[in-house]
Structure 1
Amino acid sequence: MAKTLGAISAARDSEAAGPAAVQNPLRISTESRSHKTLYMPSRLATAETADTAIKVVAVPTPDCTLSGLPGTTLLMNESTGAVRALVNSAELTGLRTAAASALATRTLAQPDSRSLVIFGSGVQAYFHARLILELFPSLEHVDFIVRSRNERTSSLCAKLSQRFDSVTVQVREAGEVDDVLPRADIVCTCVPSTSPLFDVGMLKGTVHINAIGSYTPRMFEFPPELVSEAEAACIPQILVDSRSACLAEAGELIAARVAPERTTELGELFDPVSGRLREDEKATKAMADLRRAGKSLFKCVGIGGMDVAITRLVVDVAEKQGTGSIVAY
């Protein structure tokens, strides 16, 4: 993910001839009674390869009785124009987003963090917990904030407790947020909320937040005042996956009227070839600005290039292992 986001940010400033290395047209959609279906084409070219893909995700409407977000990615062969692979993207979307959040968390959060609070209990919540727990062995508590306990939340706790047996994993209902949020070192908001999930005053002075659930101007996961320059305790510099996408789609940033210069892309901090954290003057200053308020925030709405990268990675591994079904076409 560090290489992918580094390549995306580097390509934005490139003046190389030929097709643009990174192409992420705005998503389009169709609507039915049960779902709003999103279509997200993208292209990502790096020093190693170039791939084109389109992801299709069905977002349930309130009338839909089924859970989950069905998703499919078509990975294309750029030479022939034919479909190279058809991949279920539901798990991969959760994994690629969590990988970006984990990268941001490793970069900005306190290395001795002990408490992780996650809003949500779906695929995104699981992968965020799993990857951050692997990166931060100091964590002792994970609390999931949900609307109500159910079979899914029980399964979530069981899976994580089995993998991380030294960590206390608990599910708490929304009314209990006051009990756990004030001690949280790391917070992940993984729900498509239309109203803020917490008050700014609940947060520790050194908390790191990953906000990945909202992706439209009418969605809000955290209070806009957290990033509003009109507030004395606001976070002055915000880490984002894509500056243009977040300023166009993230309801919290739009409501707070965040200017482009107050955002830093995660990819701007990493070398696209090595994937290592850059150590030049510009990156060092950006890191200092991101940590200036004590609190830090990573806002992610999802970039098509991230889907291309993880789909290509999985397909490459599948082909080497002989996994999957080959269909005549």
Structure 2
Amino acid sequence: MAKTLAAISAHKHSPVDQAGLLPIQNPLRIATETAFHKTLYMPSRLTTSEGGATAVKVVAVPKPNCPVPGLPGTTLLMDEETGSVRAVVNSAELTGIRTATASALATKLLADPASQVLVIFGSGVQAYHHARLILELFPSITQVKIVVRRRSARASTLANNIATLFPTVTITLESSEEEAVAKAVETADIICTCVPSTTPLFKAESIKPGVHINAIGSYTPSMFEFPPDLISTSSSSSSSPARIPHVLVDSRSACLAESGELIAAHVTGDRLVELGELFDPAATGGAADDVDVDAVAKLRQNGVSLFKCVGIGGMDVAITRLVVEEAEKRGLGSVVPF
């Protein structure tokens, strides 16, 4: 994931290929609406040392009145030579994995390595993969607090699944009532918000010094997971510093266009650092290789760090190509002639 994000961030400085095309093409998503869903379309083309790949992911995000639960998603991977469809992939699980991988990378760079308490908002696929990956990276964590609107079967299943994977970690379900949220958040070393919320999930004064926040559930200008005053300057003085002066993002342009929190706080591009910019795109290693330590220090400037991710198509292309190539090697999946 570090290599993919580094390549995406570096594409503005990349020369065109022999056909005169940019090696990375990552346009902003477009959307259509039905009575029960908002459907997102995310096309992208990604060229790395492994070759080029083109894909489009279609995700139907349910509205509150949707009678059927779930987040259906499909990715079409195209054949680079013929232009025909190479594979059709159920992307619901892959989306959770790729987003959690980016968050885990950010958390490894910015969070306290001795973190003990993880607080997660949400009970879906994203919440599960965020918990799983962060617990693998931080064996110091002893508590996971899952904040949910109600103690549903899905929430209980999530808690049980995490407890099965990490039997020494205490897993609890917490209420989303304001007082309960404040008590949970004030103990957190790491917070993951995995909810497409239209109102902030917690108050700025509730967090403690040193906390790291991954905000990945909201993706439109009308959505808010964290309070914008965490990243805004004082309304009484434009020169007053923000609580979090610099924000780590998956894509500067996408977050400026789609993150409700950044838009409401009037955050400008010079205050954003792309996750891919922290790495050398030519490096072959992972998160520990060729990291921009000065940029990391800037992101930790006031002790509280934040990663905002709205999701970009290049991430979907990379993970889909990886899965399809592995499936082809193993003879998995169904071949449909057309």
1:9 maps to 9
2:107 maps to 105
Deviations 1:276-317 (A, max 9, x none): 44547xx22211100111000000000100000000111111
Counterpart CA distance in 2 for 1:109 and 1:298 is 11
Counterpart CA distance in 2 for 1:24 and 1:239 is 19
1:41 maps to 43
Unaligned runs of 5+ in 1: none
> Does residue 252 of structure 2 align to residue 243 of structure 1?
yes
Pairwise mapping of residues 296-307 of structure 1 onto structure 2 (< 5 A)?
Answer: 296-307=305-316
C-alpha contact (below 8 Å) 1:269/1:278 kept by paired residues: no
Q: Structure 2: which amino acid aligns with 1:130?
A: R
C-alpha contact (below 8 Å) 2:182/2:203 kept by paired residues: no
Secondary structure of 1:19's match? coil
Unaligned runs of 5+ in 2: 235-239
TM-superposed CA distance for 1:232, in Å, is 4.5
1:84 maps to 86
C-alpha contact (below 8 Å) 2:195/2:217 kept by paired residues: yes
Counterpart CA distance in 2 for 1:41 and 1:324 is 23
Q: Structure 2: which amino acid aligns with 1:204?
A: K
Counterpart CA distance in 2 for 1:251 and 1:278 is 33
> Does residue 291 of structure 2 align to residue 287 of structure 1?
no
TM-superposed CA distance for 1:233, in Å, is 5.4
Counterpart CA distance in 1 for 2:62 and 2:91 is 16
Secondary structure of 1:54's match? strand
C-alpha contact (below 8 Å) 2:280/2:290 kept by paired residues: no
Q: TM-score, normalised by structure 2?
A: 0.94
Deviations 1:14-37 (A, max 9, x none): 133421111122222222222222
> Does residue 223 of structure 2 align to residue 219 of structure 1?
yes
Secondary structure of 2:186's match? helix
C-alpha contact (below 8 Å) 1:145/1:177 kept by paired residues: yes
Deviations 1:58-107 (A, max 9, x none): 11123311111100000001111111110000000011000000000001
Counterpart CA distance in 1 for 2:101 and 2:71 is 19
Given candidates 202, 206, 210, the residue that maps to 1:206 is 210
Secondary structure of 2:76's match? strand
Counterpart CA distance in 2 for 1:293 and 1:50 is 40
Q: Structure 2: which amino acid aligns with 1:81?
A: G
> Does residue 189 of structure 2 align to residue 185 of structure 1?
yes
1:120 maps to 122
> Does residue 262 of structure 2 align to residue 253 of structure 1?
yes
Deviations 1:36-59 (A, max 9, x none): 221111111112211000111111
Counterpart CA distance in 2 for 1:95 and 1:279 is 24
1:165 maps to 167
Q: Structure 1: which amino acid aligns with 2:217?
A: G
C-alpha contact (below 8 Å) 1:197/1:222 kept by paired residues: yes
Between the two proteins, the alignment pairs up a number of residues equal to 327
Counterpart CA distance in 1 for 2:227 and 2:34 is 31
Deviations 1:88-135 (A, max 9, x none): 000000110000000000010000100000000000000000000000
Counterpart CA distance in 2 for 1:300 and 1:180 is 23
Q: TM-score, normalised by structure 1?
A: 0.96
Counterpart CA distance in 2 for 1:27 and 1:324 is 28
Q: Structure 1: which amino acid aligns with 2:188?
A: A
1:130 maps to 132
C-alpha contact (below 8 Å) 1:233/1:293 kept by paired residues: no
1:93 maps to 95
Counterpart CA distance in 2 for 1:167 and 1:320 is 37
Percent identity over the alignment is: 63
TM-superposed CA distance for 1:272, in Å, is 2.5
Q: Structure 1: which amino acid aligns with 2:303?
A: G
